[in-house]
Every structure is written in C-alpha cells, then in structure tokens.
Structure 1
Amino acid sequence: MKRDDLTLESLVLIAHGIARHFGSDCEVCIHDLQANDLEHTICYIINGHVSGRKLGDGASKIVLETLEALKKGENVSDHLGYRTHTSDGRILKSSTIFLKDETGKYRFILGINHDMTDFINAQSALSNIVENIETTDEDIYGQIPLSVNDLLDNLIEQSVKLVGKTPALMTKDEKVKAIRFLQNAGAFLITRSGDKISQFFGISKFTLYSYIDQAKAVDE
C-alpha cells in the first residue's frame, strides 16, 4: 500500500469518528485534490444525505478556490465553523481542513457539514439550554452544489449579486469586476465554463478572454 493510500486510510478512520460522534446529521467527506476530473473529486463520504451528494460527485466552491489558489502558488488555510446551506434551505455549520501528503503538497480536503436546522428552529424555545449559534455571518461559500454545473450557476449568480445589476445593464468595468470574481473563485477551471459565462454576459469568447486578462492585471 502506498503512503498516499495510508493517508487516505487514516482520513477515513477520522471521518468515521467524527460522523459517529455527531450522528447522522453530520456529513463528512474527503476530496482528492489530485483528481483530474473536477466532477469527481469526492473520494469518500459519510451521511451524504445531508447535502445530497455521493461518492464520485464533484467539487464545491471552496475546492475550486483552493485549486485556483494553489495554481497561483498562494497559501491556503483551514476554514472552521462557517455557514453554508443546502438546496432545500437547511442551514449547515461547515469546516474545511486542508491536508498535505508526505511531499508537502496539498492532497486532500476533509469537509464537515453539520445540519443545524433543528437546533436553530428550536433556539427560541430552548434559548436557556441550547447554545446560541451565530447566524449573522455572511454565507461566504453559499449553497453546496449537487454538480459542477450547479456550482457554476451559483458562482455566476454570486457575480451578478456582487455587481448589483443584470448583465444587460452592466458597464464594461462592471463585467470585468464580475469576471474577476469568477476567475478568483476558480470558475474557469470547470470544463466549457467559458462558453456559458460569455453567453450569460452577452459577450464573445474573445472579449471574455480580454476581460480575464484585465481581471488578472488588477490582482497583480
């Protein structure tokens, strides 16, 4: 057995321990960052009913952001106790932990998504018993997608909210701003995303690439 396999084996044991501790409302999944196909990064998952995902499903927004950051040579850090939600509106308390292999390269992501909806709904009646769960933080990682196509749709929607206008009313600079958000979120790592994004913003592929270059120049 290779050392990477031993690392995955250890993560699986940890995943089972976390899921056993918190119960069936706690999803634990492992993403393989070396997967060549972004639609199939989940190499292990427990309690997938929480988000509706299963073994072999694709990357989340935070996985895309991590891959984009690593591509740029940037450092990444763990995200602990942030808020996300499912497609049917349930509130999750999520944590994302990045793990390196023996060479020092980031290889796996351990994701924890604990369904807190019942606790939040009962908070008013049980305020003296249940610890108050912060619900005012910005939902920075949004909905957990069921597919990479859903993820791209979510990212495009967030880029529109960032600008505050529909594409038909956006100026060139505002479209560049939206494209910059999509670039930094790793949207262009998704296969054929350029076709969908250029069509959505009503621009040609040539113009899209020009906007991407301008967005990169802002970050330099």
Structure 2
Amino acid sequence: MPSLEVIDEHIVLDILSSTVRLVGSLLPNNIEVVLHDLRNPECSVVEISSPSITGRKKGDSVISGARRDPAFANLMEFSSEPITYVLNYETQDNAGNPLRSSSAIYRNAQGMPFAALCINADYQQIDKAIALIQQLTASELNPTFKKEQQVIISEPTPDNIDALLQEIIDIAMEQNPGSNRPAIKKANLVAVQRMQERGIFIIKGGVEKAAKALGVSRYTVYNYLDELKAQNEGE
C-alpha cells in the first residue's frame, strides 16, 4: 500500500470526489455514496450521490449521516495505516431504518484522518416495492382489500452541531424533568448517550462542544461516558 506522505490531501479529495460522481452515476437510487472532508467536520460533505437515502447535501456535517455507526467511530481512531476500512456492516438512517454500509478512512503522514468515503445502501426500498406489488395483486383478487398507510417521520437534521447539541439536551430535559442534582445528572447522561449515538465524540472538539452545551467540564463528560460504558458492559 503506498504511503500518503507524498500525496497532497487536496489531490486525494479531488480524485475521490470525481470517483463519487463517476460511480454514483451508474448506481441505483437506493445506494448513496458520500465523501467527507474530515478536516472540516461541521460541513464535511463535499460530494454525494443519491442523497435521498440519508437526506444530506453538500456542506452538511459528518454527524448528520447514519446513526449508531460504531464501525465508523472505530475507524476514526489513530492508525499508522494510510487507509483503513470496514465492509458491509449494519447502520441506521435518521428515521431508524436499517442500512448496509461500507466506509474507508484516509490518513495523512501523522496518522490523522482527513477524508472518508462511505457507501450506504437502503434495501428497504426494494422490499417496499415487492410488498406494494403483493398488495396490488391482493387488491385485484379481493376488491375489499385496503392498504394501510404507513407514515415515517424523519428525525430533524439541524444545520449545525451546536443546534443539534441543544436539541438533544432539550429532549433529554423534557424526558427527565427536575431541578435537583440526581435529575440533572440523569438528564445529562441521557443527553451524552444520545450525543454518542449521533457521533458527536468522533469529531475534533466534540467533547469540548458537548461540555459547553451541558454547562459542565470536559472531565465530567468523560466521566459520563465511562459510566455509560460500565452500564452497557453490565447489561
């Protein structure tokens, strides 16, 4: 595998950007290809095809994509390899629907991630098409057959990380009302867990932003993360 020491990051991003356009032009609409510039996480999306899968657009944040993506989070950890990737793993879109994803992270000579190329496939569209054909066939055989309408409410996507943090905190406070110390800690734990699920802590400065939004120190946020980890391990 060639070293990235002699490769300009801008050139790599330009090459990957043209690759997204080229590959995306031939893929079906249920497969999204997205390129992130991780040096600018708050508006990292520089190229995307089939954006209807996750509802993203150019300029969106890296955390506005698939939910509960531990494989991507693990890839963001330090590595001496210039390119690391995970293939065909399960994630979710913002409405909680299952996706199949593959991700590759590109690092500079210091081992810091600067680009991510991700593919997300929504096979539910195919399943829905099959179900629709079956329902239409059933309705032709049985005139009294009525199809139930299913409404999927998408989770709102804030324009920036600060808005997302505040939204998460507001929801946690509503779910855990109270002004005493135990109630506030419980709400903060719920908020930090939700932030972790949305990938806040995989971006540079994520812990500091979360701490500022919660009105606590970053060490308190780390303590919350340790407590959540212990709870998960005890389940």
TM-score by length of 1: 0.58
Asked which structure has the greater CA Rg, the reply is: 2
Match of 1:120 in 2: 127
In the TM superposition, 1:137-156 aligns within 5 A as 145=157, 147-149=159-161, 151-152=164-165
**What amino acid is aligned across from residue 126 of structure 2 in structure 1?**
F
Count matched residues. Answer: 190
**What amino acid is aligned across from residue 152 of structure 1 in structure 2?**
L
Inter-CA distance 113–11: structure 2 relative to 1 (3 Å threshold):
same
> 5+ unaligned residues in a row in structure 1: which ranges?
128-141, 199-204
Structure 2 CA distance for aligned equivalents of residues 61 and 213 of structure 1: 23
Match of 1:186 in 2: 200
**What amino acid is aligned across from residue 165 of structure 2 in structure 1?**
L
Instruction: Identify which of 11, 14, 30 aligns with 2:16.
Output: 11
Q: Deviations over 1:114-151 (max 9, x none)?
A: 33332121345789xxxxxxxxxxxxxx9694533564
Structure 2 CA distance for aligned equivalents of residues 83 and 77 of structure 1: 15
Q: Partner of 2:25: helix, strand, or coil?
A: helix
> 5+ unaligned residues in a row in structure 2: which ranges?
1-6, 135-153, 231-235
Match of 2:3 in 1: none
Contact 1:12 1:44 (C-alpha < 8 Å) held by counterparts: yes
Inter-CA distance 73–215: structure 2 relative to 1 (3 Å threshold):
farther
Report how far residue 72 of structure 1 moved: 7.3
Q: Deviations over 1:5-40 (max 9, x none)?
A: 3211331243234323422332211111111xx321
Match of 2:148 in 1: none
Structure 2 CA distance for aligned equivalents of residues 82 and 105 of structure 1: 25
Match of 1:23 in 2: 28
Ranked by relative contact order (alpha carbons within 8 Å, sequence separation 6 or more), the top structure is 1
In the TM superposition, 1:43-82 aligns within 5 A as 43-60=46-63, 73=78, 78=86, 80-82=88-90
Identity %: 15
User: Aligned pair 1:211/2:216, yes or no?
Assistant: no
Structure 2 CA distance for aligned equivalents of residues 28 and 147 of structure 1: 21
